[in-house]
Amino acid sequence: MSKLIIIGGSLATGKTTIAKFLEEKTGIKRIAMDDLKERFFDIGGYRDREWSKRIGHVAWPVFQQLVELHLEHGEDVIAEATFLHPNDADWILKIAKRRSANVFQIWMTADPSVTRERFIHRANNERHPGHCDALEHVIEEFDKRFFCKTFDPLELNCKTLVVDTTCFENVDKKGVLDFLEK
């Protein structure tokens, strides 16, 4: 059975860091929603926050199709996105069943005040400008939506590992890798 490795969680919890680590250590292809959006920004340009959201709506079905394409070919795949929308679990369960994939969920979490600080640093230093998440535009919205709570893993009835990255230096990366071998 192919492995469908879901890496989800709120903003700035370390999804990309862990997904890239796993890709490097396992050779499993990583499909990341933010990478797709950034390529779309490079091709189609970027303007404002609303444009960024619309690009996300365009990129999402491509993300889904790429993940499923790997499973269709019997390949393991790492799917990296926030997975915070109610219908995300339905989509994952549907393609896992259709492609006979074994689902592993790695749910990233951290203290919201820590993720807020990471987000601010990232927005000011290393984020693709197409996301249009400059602080003056989004911090109030994101404080209400993301930085005032933690999010629970998706209800997938699968092997799930919750990784708390509040202190990223304490994350047991080998333990995350070992989780995929169980």
Q: Are 106 and 18 in contact (CB under 8 A)?
A: yes
Domains belonging to the chain, first-starting first, are 2-179 (3.40.50.300)
pLDDT in tens, 54-82: 999 999 999 999 999 999 999 999 999 99
Question: pLDDT, tens digit, for every residue of 130-177?
Answer: 887 766 778 888 999 999 999 999 999 999 999 999 999 999 999 999
Which two tokens mark 133?
A: 């998440």
Please count the residues of the chain. Answer: 182
169 CB-contact burial (10 Å; exposed 0-12 / middle 13-18 / buried 19+): exposed
102-122 pLDDT, tens per residue? Answer: 999 999 999 999 999 999 988
